[in-house]
Each structure stands twice: as C-alpha cells, then as structure tokens.
Amino acid sequence: MDAALERRASKTHRGISRRDVVELAEAWYRAHPGESISIPRLCRVVGLSERGLRNAFYDVRGMSPKQCMLRERLQGVRRALRDRTVKDMTVTSVATDYGFYELGRFAGAYKQLFGEAPSATLRGAGNPH
C-alpha cells in the first residue's frame, strides 16, 4: 500500500482538489500509525508546500494537518483501549504503539478530546451499554 500511495503522490498536480489532497494525506498517515510524521514529510508525499497543505486541511477539515494527525492517533488509541479481545493491555503500551511517548501530554489530550482518562476507557467506562 505504501508504494501505491507514493506513486499516487508523485503524480499529484496543483490542480487536484483540496479534498483529494487531504484524503491522500490521511491515507498516508493512517498507513503509518506508530510513526512520528513531520509536516514537511507529509508535504513531500502530497506534493504541496506547507502553506498549501495547511490551507487544504483548514478548508476540508477545519483544522491543521498536525491537529488532524493527533486526533487520528488518539482515536486509534481509543479503539484499541476498547478492544476487549486483547488481554493484559496497558494504557502505556497502547499509547506508545501509536507514537505517544510523553504520557502526561498524551493523557491530557486524550481527556480533552474524549472527556475521560484513557485508563477509564480501558476499564470500560467509555463503552456504550
């Protein structure tokens, strides 16, 4: 999949829609969930300047690419913490799998987005009945 995304990215033209740019960027960073992806690297993938990428994300998603990537990673952590098929899971192991190494900042961002601590999600407090 990575090679296909790279080929698609190398063919991007300035004339493609902002939605297409955002979807390409999202597909690329979803394919790399545990990696720390820089904005310049994402710009190379989609073939735009930082300003062009930022403008595309604001127009399509209403937030910066960095905010979108953070939200995507936090949602991945939440899905994993809710997965009852995995035994002996810890918040730390899941957080680091998604590239979060500053656990205090991670926990704060998680709580701000979901309204509960990651440990509460793991215990099942966030699961719908």
- Tens-place pLDDT, residues 9-25: 444 445 689 999 999 99
pLDDT value, residue 114 = 97
Q: pLDDT tens for residues 31-76? A: 987 787 899 999 999 999 999 999 999 999 999 999 999 999 999 9
Please indicate, yes or no, whether residues 58 and 86 belong to a single structural domain of this protein.
no
**pLDDT tens-digit map of 116-127:** 999 999 988 444
The reply to whether 50 and 74 lie within a common domain is no
Residue 16 is predicted with a pLDDT of 81
Quick one: average pLDDT of 86-97?
90
Residue finishing a domain among 41, 62, 83:
62
For residues 96 and 111, state if they share a domain: yes
Please identify, among 47, 62, 77, the residue that sits at the C-terminal boundary of a domain.
62
86 lies in the same domain as 58: no
The H or E element that residue 115 is part of is none
Cβ neighbours, 10 Å, residue 24: 21
d(CA 50, CA 6): 18
Among the listed residues 38, 98, 41, the one whose alpha carbon sits nearest the alpha carbon of residue 71: 98
Do 51 and 73 fall within a single domain? Answer: no
Residue 129 within a domain: no
Number of domains into which the chain is organized: 2
DSSP codes, 71-110:
HHHHHHHHHHHH-TTSSS--HHHHHHHTT---HHHHHHHH
**CATH code, 107:** 1.10.10.60
53 and 6 housed in the same domain:
yes
Assess if residue 31 is contained within a domain. Answer: yes
Average pLDDT over every residue of 79-101: 90
Asked which of 62, 80, 99 is the last residue of a domain, the reply is 62
Report field, pTM of the whole predicted structure over 0.85: no
pLDDT at res. 57: 96
For residue 4, the model assigns a pLDDT of 55
The dihedral built from the CA positions of residue 51, 55, 58 and 61, taken in this order, carries a sign that is: negative
CB 118 within 8 A of CB 81: yes
Residue 76 shares a structural domain with residue 109: yes
Domain that holds residue 40: 2-62
Same domain, 7 and 24: yes
